[in-house]
Amino acid sequence: MRQARRKLRVERMAALTDGLVAIIITIMVLDLPLPKTPTLAGVAPLAPVCAAYVLSYVNIGLFWNNHHHMLALAEQVNGQVLWANLALLFFLSLMPFVIRWIGYSGLAVLPVVAYGAVLAAAALSYRLLEFALIDCNGGGDGAMAQALGRDTKGLISLILYVLACALAFAQPLVAIFIYVAIAGWWLVPDRRVEKAL
């Protein structure tokens, strides 16, 4: 009975995450501006915000997908896990704001830096969630810790996001390229969790 209640808490956290991710994606698409004229010339100015939307959709999907896989290993959650999960959701919920900012200002420095900062904060929150889940589910010797390993890819991604934010002050396009490259890198499936299931 106690085990069933613990698993139910994990499922409730997953359901909350699923619902909020769906809302975030819906807000992002509803915020996309319409072309002023029904021509290619009318669509062209919207290219930066549409590209930012696609990149944001992919990034949110990557966070959600990895989150889903990680929670498949969890037997229980505690308050620390719930707060780490809420921090992740908070930073993901900022995506519609930063892509709208990019849409209105183009590839100006501050919006590109803000976009990277949101991604970096989400990546950091995800790592904190990972650590909290490992601690809550058997610690360093538990099945979750064994399945997730050291998560070098997550650490490198976080470092690259921070580096891209710094580079954005001088070269916003280089920062955007790094954001795209990180997303492309994560599109390659991570088999760590799937092997453990």
Residue 184 pLDDT level (bands cut at 50, 70, 90) = very high
pLDDT at 193: 62
45 pLDDT band, cuts 50/70/90, is: confident
pLDDT in tens, 56-78: 999 999 999 999 988 888 888 99
> Residue 69: phi, psi to the nearest 5?
-65, -40
Query: pLDDT band at 197, cuts 50/70/90?
Result: low
pLDDT band for position 189 (cuts 50, 70, 90): low
How do the domains of the chain map onto residue ranges?
2-196
- Distance in angstroms (rounded) separating the CA atoms of residues 69 and 169: 35
pLDDT score for 126: 96
- Cβ atoms 109, 84 nearer than 8 A: no
- The one-letter code for the residue type at 23 is I
Q: How far apart are CA 7 and CA 77, in angstroms?
A: 8
Q: Is 134 exposed, middle or buried (0-12, 13-18, 19+ CB in 10 A)?
A: buried
Q: What is the pLDDT of residues 96-139, one digit of tens each?
A: 999 888 878 878 999 999 999 999 999 999 999 999 999 998 88
Could you tell me the pLDDT band of residue 190, with boundaries at 50, 70 and 90? low
Q: Is 132 left (phi over 0), alpha (psi -120 to 50) or beta?
A: alpha
Mean of pLDDT over the chain: 89
